[in-house]
Amino acid sequence: MRMFIGGNWVDKDEKIDVHNPFDGSVIDTVPRGDAQDVAAAITSAQRGSEIMRSMPAYERYEILHKASELMTERLEELGRTVSSEEGKIISEGLGEAARAQETITLSAEEAKRLYGETLPLDAASNGAGKFGLTLRVPCGVVAAITPFNFPLNLVCHKVGPALAAGNAVVVKPATDTPLSALLLTQIMLDAGVPPEAIQCVTGSGSVIGDAVSGDARVRKISFTGSRDVGEHICQVAGLKKVTMELGSNAPLIVLPDADLEKVATATAATGFANAGQVCISAQRVLVDQEVYGDFIDTLKPKVEALSTGNQLEESVGMGPMIREADAVRVNEWIHEAVDGGATLVTGGDRVGTMHAPTVVADVDPQMKISSQEVFGPAVALTRFDTVEEAITMANDTNYGLSAGVFTQNVDWALKFAQEVHSGNININWGPQWRADLMPYGGFKDSGMGKEGPKYAVEEMTELKTVIFH
Ligand code: TAP
């Protein structure tokens, strides 16, 4: 595929191969964009931002609504593209395509809701005879830098609100998974987005990232990805608005009154979906010592029932990881933990990008598999004695994106909700759950700002205060 810059589909002599992570086969190529391509994209987007700023909200709504209809027609193609380039099983790929379509529908609706307010200026000692109001105005050019793991829906979470709010958007998709973003760009153009209002530049983040983040013509950066890249972008960005949706090592607390069957089902579902490569995967499962042994016995067969293999075959329960280097890293952390005294309950093997679904018990919270973001198909079990200890352990991390607790005790549930420092709190489910309309974003090193179209529109607009004297 080609990239889209300045109203044209652009090719380059230098290409990047896009691989199917299951067998390494090349499924397509994209141009290797450079800093000049980024500069050209931003120049065009500046014109696009003027067009979008003056476009009536109803037209922005209609275009996004049309885009959502076109996505519905192409759902199967979108889902297959996601699965082929990312490695998630086909049901998850199709599920992501359906969610992405809903994200664009929700964004279309938000185009109609850019409210301001009137200000009671005469309530201030110097305000008699004045009248004030606020206008919510677009930022201008929004840069959208996105990760590999949800290559369509997370692009929609930026493109949809950016356009709904009257901005132009420059998309920099992950190099491993650019095809879904390019397909989406085509759909947006087909729906009537002005060609200057959307740009999609492919190329390595380490090469072209600074050209995107550092350009003073970009007013807003919306980034989803790893903590360290997020921090680097903030340093390069200078005086810009930023939204940072970063990583985590999400905890799931199992209190002694929990239904262990339900917890085990939730752990298998929220720990191993997309081969554990979800920012809110259940990673640290903290279990009350009273039910620790029984929980392991209940969880083990559910994890062992996950068949691994070619993600495009419908019978397969878990596909490959995105890159072999990441599978090697996850495997090393597992074996480091086992060498340090943890117990391998199931899994532990790796062949190429395919890592077995793994459960490790008796994990010391200082071990990498617990203290750092695993981002792979491994779950670490640690036991605790009291609710207070469990909450302290859950909070003993630099991350804070999502957390889960299983209990029937409303006091414990409320204590957990109030005391766990995390952007999302799940009572009686694992940490991995999201409806695309809800405010979603992390605390601490998991980032700042919220996504969900309503909240992203707020972050991609600015308030102008108008005073009539
Ligand atoms: P990253 O390696 O951080 O890459 C994310 C994006 O940043 C890619 O497009 C990447 O481009 C680009 N990038 C790399 N270096 C850059 C630089 N110096 N300047 C600007 N952009 C740069 O993350 P990933 O491996 O794709 O995704 C996994 C991470 O994302 C995990 O930490 C996960 O938790 C996090 N994540 C968070 C969320 C939310 S909502 N909080 C959701 C999904 C994922 P290249 O691909 O070309 O390197």
The verdict on residue 432 lying in a domain is no
The verdict on residue 436 lying in a domain is no
Compute CA 345 distance to the chain's CA centroid, rounded to the nearest angstrom. 30
How many other C-beta atoms can be found within 10 angstroms of the C-beta atom of residue 216? 10
The verdict on residue 263 lying in a domain is yes
When the pLDDT of each residue in the chain is averaged and rounded to a whole number, the result is 98
Residue 186 and residue 270 in one domain: no
Q: Is 196 a catalytic residue?
A: no
Give, using CA atoms, the residue closest to atom 46 of ligand 1. 174
- State the pLDDT at residue 441: 98
Residue 40 and residue 85 in one domain: yes
Tokens 């209940």 correspond to 298
Across residues 40-59, what is the average pLDDT? 98
- State the pLDDT at residue 18: 98
Q: How confident is the model at residue 180 (pLDDT cuts 50, 70, 90)?
A: very high
**Of 149, 152, 176, which is best to mutate to test ligand 1, by the most ligand atoms within 8 angstroms of its C-beta?**
149
Residue 295 and residue 181 in one domain: no
- State the pLDDT at residue 95: 98
Across residues 1-10, what is the average pLDDT? 98
Residue 368 and residue 451 in one domain: no
- State the pLDDT at residue 231: 98
The verdict on residue 93 lying in a domain is yes
Query: CA quadruple 443, 448, 449, 453: dihedral positive or negative?
Result: negative
- State the pLDDT at residue 300: 98
DSSP 314-358: TT-SB---S-HHHHHHHHHHHHHHHHTT-EEEE---EETTEE--E
Ligand 1 centre distance from Cα of residue 202 (Å): 14
CA distances from 461 to 2, 38, 58, 249, 401 (A): 30, 23, 17, 31, 24
What separation, in Å, do the N-terminal and C-terminal C-alpha atoms of the chain show? 56
Distance CA 442, CA 454 (A): 17
Q: How confident is the model at residue 160 (pLDDT cuts 50, 70, 90)?
A: very high
The verdict on residue 39 lying in a domain is yes
For 447, the 3-state DSSP assignment is: strand
Strand order of the β-sheet with 198-200 is 8-10, 3-5, 198-200, 168-172, 141-145, 220-224, 241-245, 447-448
For 5, the 3-state DSSP assignment is: strand
Q: How confident is the model at residue 168 (pLDDT cuts 50, 70, 90)?
A: very high
- State the pLDDT at residue 336: 98
- State the pLDDT at residue 31: 98
Q: How confident is the model at residue 420 (pLDDT cuts 50, 70, 90)?
A: very high
Residue 198 and residue 260 in one domain: no
Residue 154 and residue 168 in one domain: yes
Give the E-state strand segments of 150-219 in sequence order: 168-172, 198-200
Residue 217 and residue 299 in one domain: no
Tell me, using a 6 A CB cutoff, whether residue 33 lines ligand 1. Answer: no
Closest CA to 247 of 36, 441, 95: 441
Residue 165 and residue 273 in one domain: no
- State the pLDDT at residue 316: 98
Distance CA 306, CA 55 (A): 50
How many other C-beta atoms can be found within 10 angstroms of the C-beta atom of residue 414? 11
- State the pLDDT at residue 311: 98
Q: Is 156 a catalytic residue?
A: no
Q: Which residues pair with 288 in a beta bridge?
A: 384
Q: The domain spanning residue 266 has which CATH number?
A: 3.40.309.10
Q: How confident is the model at residue 73 (pLDDT cuts 50, 70, 90)?
A: very high
Q: How confident is the model at residue 11 (pLDDT cuts 50, 70, 90)?
A: very high
Q: Give percent helix, percent strand, percent coil of the chain, each to the nearest 5.
A: 40, 20, 35
Across residues 25-31, what is the average pLDDT? 98
Across residues 104-113, what is the average pLDDT? 98
Domain count, the chain: 2
How do residues 206-238 score in pLDDT, each as one tens digit?
999 999 999 999 999 999 999 999 999 999 999
Across residues 380-402, what is the average pLDDT? 98
Q: Which domain holds residue 73?
A: 3-246+443-468
The verdict on residue 26 lying in a domain is yes
Q: The domain spanning residue 185 has which CATH number?
A: 3.40.605.10
Of the chain, the percentage scoring pLDDT greater than 90 comes to 100
Q: How confident is the model at residue 140 (pLDDT cuts 50, 70, 90)?
A: very high
Tell me, using a 6 A CB cutoff, whether residue 250 lines ligand 1. Answer: no
Give, using CA atoms, the residue closest to atom 13 of ligand 1. 205
Across residues 267-292, what is the average pLDDT? 98
Across residues 117-145, what is the average pLDDT? 98
Residue 279 and residue 206 in one domain: no
Across residues 338-350, what is the average pLDDT? 98
The verdict on residue 435 lying in a domain is no
How do residues 405-417 score in pLDDT, each as one tens digit?
999 999 999 999 9
0.75 cut: is pTM over it? yes
Residue 271 and residue 357 in one domain: yes
The verdict on residue 231 lying in a domain is yes
**Of 92, 146, 218, 224, which is best to mutate to test ligand 1, by the most ligand atoms within 8 angstroms of its C-beta?**
224
Residue 238 and residue 261 in one domain: no
- State the pLDDT at residue 214: 98
Residue 233 and residue 263 in one domain: no
- State the pLDDT at residue 213: 98
CA distances from 433 to 56, 225, 271, 458 (A): 35, 18, 11, 23
Across residues 350-367, what is the average pLDDT? 98
Tell me, using a 6 A CB cutoff, whether residue 378 lines ligand 1. Answer: no
For 15, the 3-state DSSP assignment is: strand
